[in-house]
Amino acid sequence: MSQHAHLVNEYRPSIGESLTYPIQSTMPNVENWNLLSEGEIVPTDKTLWAAAMGNEELSKEEYAEAYALYMSNFVKEYGRFKRPFQRATMMVLPTKWNTGYSNSTSSALTALAFKQGEATKIKDSIGVVNNTINRLEGLLYETQNTLKTKRRLRANRAYADLAEREAPEELATLNSDILALEGLELGYGEQLAQLRLDARVLNQELSLILDDYKQTADKLGIEDNFEKELRKATAKGGTRGLITGGLGGFMVAGGLLFLIAQARRSPQRVRSTARGADGLFFRAP
């Protein structure tokens, strides 16, 4: 918990602030890039993409390897901060908070409400980080485009020779602009790197909280049939009406669980089958 507490405080959302998240897609998560919206994956460097993918139809495993090869070559060619695909973003996708239990069962887990609250705060903090990443990405790409234009002009020998003879101050200004833009590009990149690191720490904590939540629920014997057995147990034990929610429900949880155990006809437990299609949750590194 201590690893994320200061980050949650630092990235606390303002009242009414709209939070930003990328989409959950099937794009292989290499170099921590995600997508802003659904649609065809369009590579920035089609030549590198074609070289990695080849001309033959690929299996899922072969496609993942080819994708990783493209990303590796792309980073070598352009660095870590150039967008490898259209609609790609450095924003972080939070761990999907899916406990694997039904809503009715979750409502009985009053003892775990704190963990759920922490998970919400962490997800909101990731959204605040993403808002900052989104703004910095815009500034970074604007800077990169301007820098590209000025470098192209500086590389024009006819212009450079003429400016050196007729207007050396313009050439000096151009050189100064290029240096300043390069500094901005580096600065934005370093800020983005720190933000992504903070978001990954938050995401790791979110995953740990989710694991702890599920382990705690498993120890309590909470399953999808918990509510049905709870009604059966309270009817037999005369404790109907004791559960009122919040901490009061938690205080009598031990006794109720004992009654549930007595009411069960079979020792075999019924495991939850209401898990998502992706297992427990989507994990971003």
Helix (H) or strand (E) segment spanning residue 35: strand 34-35
Banded pLDDT at 104 (limits 50, 70, 90): low
C-alpha 283/C-alpha 24 separation (Å) is: 10
Residue 231: both structure tokens together:
């009604």
Rg (CA), the chain: 27
In the predicted model, is pLDDT for residue 184 greater than 50? yes
Tell which wins on pLDDT, 108 or 81: 81
User: Helix or strand or coil: residue 143?
Assistant: helix
Q: Among candidates 206, 231, 4, 3, which has minimal Cα distance to 99?
A: 206
Q: pTM score, two decimals?
A: 0.52
Q: What is the pLDDT of residues 227-277, one digit of tens each?
A: 666 666 656 554 444 343 433 444 344 444 444 444 433 344 434 333 333
Domain boundaries along the sequence of the chain: 2-222, 225-268
Question: What average pLDDT does the segment 143-168 reach?
Answer: 91
Tell which wins on pLDDT, 285 or 40: 40
C-alpha 254/C-alpha 260 separation (Å) is: 10
Exposed/middle/buried for 47, CB within 10 Å: 0-12, 13-18, 19+? exposed
Out of 22-26, 40-44, 155-159, 244-248, least confident range:
244-248
pLDDT confidence of residue 20: 87
C-alpha 153/C-alpha 28 separation (Å) is: 37
**DSSP class of 110:** G
Half-sphere exposure of 11 (CA within 13 A, CB side): 26
Banded pLDDT at 34 (limits 50, 70, 90): confident
Our CA dihedral for 45, 47, 52, 55, rounded to 10 degrees, sits at: 130
User: Helix or strand or coil: residue 24?
Assistant: coil
The DSSP string of 171-230 is HHHHHHHHHHHHHHHHHHHHHHHHHHHHHHHHHHHHHHHHHHHHHHHHHHT--TTHHHHH
Are 159 and 44 a contacting pair, CB within 8 Å?
no
C-alpha 94/C-alpha 202 separation (Å) is: 9
CB within 8 Å of 228: residues ≥ 6 apart: none
Are 147 and 206 a contacting pair, CB within 8 Å?
no
pLDDT confidence of residue 89: 85
- Report the chain's mean pLDDT, rounded to a whole number: 77
